[in-house]
Amino acid sequence: MNYLGSKIRLSGFIYNEVSTSIGQNLADCSFCDLFAGTGIVGNFFHHKVKSMVYNDREYYSYVLNTAFYSEVNEKHYRSMLNELNQLEGVEGFIFQEYSESGSAGRLYFIANNGKKIDAIRLHIERLFQNSEINEDFYILLVATLLVAVDKIANTASVYCAFLKQLKKTAMCGINLVPLKRAFKRIEYKIFREDSNALIKNIKGDLLYLDPPYNGREYGSYYHLLNTIALYDTQFQPKGRAGSRSYSTSKFCLKREADQALLELIDHADFKHIFLSYNNEGFISPSRIKEIMTDFGTYQCSSLKYPRFKSHRNNPRSYTEEYLHHLIKY
């Protein structure tokens, strides 16, 4: 998924920095990805550490991260995807509210894809309600649908707006493809909580923090993934984007981000804290250094990194990604 702030291309760098700076064997450590998003960083570490915790306050993220650990038999999974891919479309909520020819006139999907999303999502729900699949399978299928949806959405990668003209990928038919899953069974937990509340109830060895660093609120930018995952079709989609209600993260508010980070670090019962943060974020690198130094030994590394590539951005534009490291007293 082309996710805002995704660390897909930075996971190798993060892994090298973490493994060389902790002074102990990774295999003896627990790892917590507290702002997990797509889970890419946690997934990169999962077979290298003792246990994993994922957290993100968005439901779609909970679904994606849970699906990674699904134990559904691969053959059974693939045959179910074949069945779902062949369903006839129906004119349901997604078609009416978010598709070409739908009553709301929002162009997130071509008409056929809108109908297919409804048909697939309704079928998954029926299978689960009729106990024909368990919760593990249900979450895996919903996650598979979200990833497929993201490939054919008519957006500039985020869902706060749709494009006026259909882009090429949006004209392709939706196709469910099996997701990559954990290849090593380890102890894991997945939460869907506010980071600053959860931090008071967990402890461990390595804490990885990747909070938002500007005003782009994920609840707004990815509202449609939450709507498809929840399929709570009684709500009234709002405005031109057809969004749902959300609360803004403190990390997305310039006046509150500093205090939120300070409190998070203060309450963290972890030996090592790693923080990914961009040089253009609300909190400056020097301020992060100041905050962290109060709690222990601080070091930092950085990497020049291409900006988030929504299709409107200049792909040659770079930014500096910092990985701050605190060894807590």
Ligand X SMILES: C[S@@+](CC[C@H](N)C(=O)[O-])C[C@H]1O[C@@H](n2cnc3c(N)ncnc32)[C@H](O)[C@@H]1O
Binding site for ligand X (CB under 6 A): 3, 5-7, 35, 37-38, 40-41, 55-58, 61, 194-195, 210-212, 218, 249, 251
46 and 188 in contact (C-beta within 8 Å)? yes
Q: Closest distance between ligand X and the C-beta of residue 175, in Å?
A: 23
Q: Measured from the CB of residue 294, what is the shortest distance to ligand X in angstroms?
A: 22
Which residues, including other chains, have CB under 8 Å from residue 295's CB and lie 6 or more apart?
Answer: 265, 266, 326, 328, 329
- For ligand X, the closer CB: 34 or 292: 34
Q: How many other CB atoms sit within 10 Å of the CB of residue 265?
A: 23
Which residues are within 8 A (CB) of 165 and not within 5 positions of it... i.e. 6 or more apart? Answer: none
CA-wise closest residue to 310 among 180, 164, 176, 163: 163
Choose between 125 and 194: whose C-beta lies nearer to ligand X. Answer: 194
Q: How far is the CB of 7 from ligand X (least distance, A)?
A: 4
Q: Are 254 and 189 in contact (CB under 8 A)?
A: no
Judged by CB, which is closer to ligand X: 6, or 85?
6
83 or 318: whose CB is closer to ligand X?
318
Nearest distance, CB of residue 321 and ligand X, angstroms: 11
The smaller minimum CB distance to ligand X, of residues 54 and 95, is found at 54
Task: Name the burial class of residue 302, with classes exposed (0-12), middle (13-18) and buried (19+) by CB atoms within 10 angstroms of its CB.
Answer: middle
**Least gap, CB of 199 to ligand X (angstroms):** 9
